[in-house]
Structure 1
Amino acid sequence: MSDLNRGVLYGASAYFLWGFLPLYWPLFSPPASAFEVLLHRMIWSLAVTLAVLLVQRNWRWVREVLRSPRRLLLLAASAVLISANWGFFIVAVTTGHTLQSALAYFVNPLVSVALGTLVFRERLRAPQWAAVALGGLAVAVLTVDYGSLPWLALAMAFSFAAYGVLKKFVRLDGVESLTAETAIMILPALGGVLVTEAAGSGTFLSVSPVHSLLLVGSGVATAVPLMLFGAAAHRIPLTLVGLLQFTVPVMHFLIAWLVFEEELSTGRWIGFAVVWAALTVFVVDMLRQARRTPRPASAPVSGSTAETG
């Protein structure tokens, strides 16, 4: 198998695993709350990434990070953002709002582009402006249909896009970054688990061995797709990475519609149709630009395309 084909296999596997995540988190609810699941996800994700780094003997970056207060501050901010993103996602898929998760990851590339103009002073091409405008129109249509802002979707999209901006400054790979972020959150996470267990609302040891293993498995569910993505990122072009990432919201949409049977009113169909039109404009422009300025397969990948869900 060629290196490119291997990269496609790794990338597709990562995004398909992320796409199936809405089926994993509802396994805990009830009896576990979304907050407790989030705490365990932080703890066991750190355990998995530390095991990976131990095998790789990859610790040099730790000293470099500890010597830089600026990077530590950025990592602390990114840790808060990715934890919030995880929390919003778990709440969405455990409370019957998986469609909002799909919407979040459909509009995320558009939010990232918009943030690029604000933070990095990037200039948008006319098709990109059109895609962003259509994305805004889609949110307006869905707001009318829902009767209020789809706040879960917007919270996920903006927290993840802001997280991607910070990742550009931190400059760590996926496993290193996830290790640092979960290490920063480990004390609050452990404290939260101890408090919930002491209060009698914790479920880690009181439900069943299967339930406990599923909570531990939340770390594997978080880290494995990320490692597959890291293996793919150095083997396939950025354009292909960008196209593969759209499998995630498509799968979330299908799961919400076909598995969870969430309501899809006429207004929601129209809203998602506008989102898909925006992404069509966005992808066509991305492909045209890629043909004009081809990039090598080994180009570094923006942090905004990883650690989804």
Structure 2
Amino acid sequence: MDDELKRTQQGVLLAILAYTMWGVAPIYFKALGDVPPFEILCHRVIWSFIFLAVLLYFTKGWQVVKETLRSKTKVIYLLITSITIGINWLVFIWAVSIDHMLDASLGYYINPLFNVILGMIFLNEKLRKLQWFAVALASIGVIVQLVVFGSVPIIAMVLAFSFGMYGLLRKKVNLDAFTGLFIETLVLLPVALIYLFILADSSTSQLSGNAWSLNTLLISAGIVTTLPLLCFAGAAVRLRLATLGFIQYIGPSLMFLLAVFVYGEAFTPDKIITFACIWAALVVFTWDGLSNNSNNKKLAAAQKKEALDVDITNETLIQDLHQAHNKPNKSK
């Protein structure tokens, strides 16, 4: 029991670290405000690839990479996921650079609800009544912003859709996050190298002409990308999905606080209504998840008790038959 408790505590700590790092990541990208978003993305791909390659060398993980690359199906899936996560990264960096961090926060708040819809469409998962209610609340928030205020949360929708599709496809690949990210950065690497060293023509595109502080930030993109993912991977194998799902709200919540109270983004009426609907939807969604998990636990305990009672009854019956068989015959 102590080992299980320790494992859970480790998982909670790793999950908090992962989502906290994701939540404060805009501070890092704000510090790169002079660098074009696509250029930042290229650095993110290149330095993440190098960082992951070094980690694979020390953890002897190359065999898994080789086996994965031999599977045509997995390679096709990873080609698609590399494009999907590349779009997600680029839109997020762009949103931060143009002071639309609130939209990015909204996108990652919507993501869990969007995942439920994707599961229903592609995995034939059935939605419970409260899940339908949560999705309806979120939809109302988006529709109000669209109809009443005439604005569409495009950034939020693209981030939610791209990250949701990424998660769905990665689930189909059934590959650990570490190996999967390495192959995804490997796919994106040629594009990043060609753009950065041949096509890019900005004031920051030549590393030799940059200040050492800027180059340090650019090289750190590998750590900023990979470290929270490693913490997340460690948490995922130690925690129940319900616990992990609850902790995930740390990320967008930190983005929201940074956007409003640090970087002074306007929390306009359309944003207030949309966020209120999304937050209400997430409360319903989380409550449903906790209730369903509790009911599943009770059902499992009842089934276990029933099976135990059957075993005890069968064992008693066998003993009685055995005693009857071995009882001396007292016939005259």
TM-score normalised by structure 1 residue count: 0.91
Alignment correspondent of 1:282: 285
Query: What letter is aligned with 1:162?
Result: M
Alignment correspondent of 1:3: 7
Which of 161, 166, 170 is the equivalent residue of 1:167?
170
How far 1:203 moved relative to its partner? 4.7
Measured in 2, the distance between the counterparts of 1:66 and 1:202 equals 32
Query: What letter is aligned with 2:232?
Result: F
Identity in percent: 35
Within a 5 Å distance, the mapping from 1:1-309 to structure 2 comes to 2-30=6-34, 32-144=35-147, 147-197=150-200, 202-294=205-297
Q: Deviations over 1:74-96 (max 9, x none)?
A: 00000000000000000011101
Are the equivalent residues in 1 in contact too, given 2:204–2:210 (CA < 8 A)? Answer: no
How far 1:66 moved relative to its partner? 1.9
Q: Deviations over 1:128-178 (max 9, x none)?
A: 111111111111223356632111111110000011110011111111111
Measured in 1, the distance between the counterparts of 2:292 and 2:119 equals 17
Query: What letter is aligned with 1:20?
Result: V
How far 1:105 moved relative to its partner? 0.5
Measured in 2, the distance between the counterparts of 1:167 and 1:294 equals 28
Secondary structure of 1:147's match? coil
Query: What letter is aligned with 1:8?
Result: V
Secondary structure of 1:235's match? coil
Unaligned runs of 5+ in 1: 296-309
Secondary structure of 1:24's match? helix
CA RMSD across the alignment: 1.8
TM-score normalised by structure 2 residue count: 0.85
Are the equivalent residues in 1 in contact too, given 2:134–2:282 (CA < 8 A)? Answer: yes
Are the equivalent residues in 2 in contact too, given 1:28–1:211 (CA < 8 A)? Answer: yes
How far 1:197 moved relative to its partner? 4.8
Measured in 1, the distance between the counterparts of 2:123 and 2:233 equals 25
Cα gap change, 1:99/1:146 in structure 2, threshold over 3 Å: closer, same or farther? Answer: farther
Are the equivalent residues in 2 in contact too, given 1:204–1:215 (CA < 8 A)? Answer: no
How far 1:294 moved relative to its partner? 4.3
Unaligned runs of 5+ in 2: 299-332
Measured in 2, the distance between the counterparts of 1:23 and 1:242 equals 24
Cα gap change, 1:152/1:198 in structure 2, threshold over 3 Å: closer, same or farther? Answer: closer
Measured in 2, the distance between the counterparts of 1:232 and 1:97 equals 30
Q: Deviations over 1:225-262 (max 9, x none)?
A: 11111111111221110001011111111111001111
Measured in 2, the distance between the counterparts of 1:85 and 1:92 equals 11
Measured in 2, the distance between the counterparts of 1:208 and 1:29 equals 14
Cα gap change, 1:40/1:145 in structure 2, threshold over 3 Å: closer, same or farther? Answer: farther
